[in-house]
Amino acid sequence: MTLRTIEGESYIKIEESVLDAIYEEALRVYPWEGGGFLFGNYSEDRTVVYVKRILKPLNMRATGISFERVVDKKTFETIYDEEGLIYVGEWHSHPNGSSLYSSMDKQAMIRIAEYPKTLIEHPLLMIVGVKNRRVQEYSVYMYDNQKLLRYEQSGD
């Protein structure tokens, strides 16, 4: 799946196996929120993010309207050392809701982007809308200067 910004200046390529794993996890935890981390790498010119893997949190607390997770720094390092992949963002589900981000989602992304140990400038946020035990939609956003810019499906 290839997505691009409205301006067409940056792209995300998400492997089908990653989408399948995200959908499976979102449906498994329904009617609660679920989520995790996105790992991948960038093209040399940094215009394409390749999302190649997800990681479930070590520990999480979820309700129908919120999701908190615990970061396992050692696992992040192992993924980098063994697979050459870096953290590129987050994903979570909105049970019985849309894939639009909330003000809480935006604030969480600002905190992530401004956290000193976050090594990337523009983390991604993917939200999966689940209704009646079915994935209805998903949206992917890129954090940029305290804004979340939405990606759209590309014909590429």
Per-residue pLDDT of 22-62, as tens digits, reads 999 999 999 999 999 999 999 999 899 999 999 988 777 76
Question: Within 10 Å of residue 119's Cβ, how many Cβ atoms?
Answer: 12
pLDDT at 94: 94
Note the pTM of the prediction, 2 decimals: 0.90
Q: What is the pLDDT of residue 42?
A: 94
What are residue 68's phi and psi, to 5 degrees?
A: -125, 140
Q: How many helices and strands in the chain, by DSSP H and E?
A: 3, 10
Please give the structure tokens belonging to residue 60: 């999480």
Domain that holds residue 137: 2-153
CATH number at residue 131: 3.40.140.10
Number of domains into which the chain is organized: 1
Contact 93, 128 (CB under 8 A): yes
State the average pLDDT for the chain. Answer: 89
Among 27-36, 39-48, 67-76, 96-105, name the one with the lowest average pLDDT. Answer: 67-76
- Reported confidence tier of residue 65, pLDDT bands at 50, 70, 90: low
Burial of 45 (0-12, 13-18, 19+ CB in 10 A): exposed
The whole-number pLDDT of residue 21 equals 97
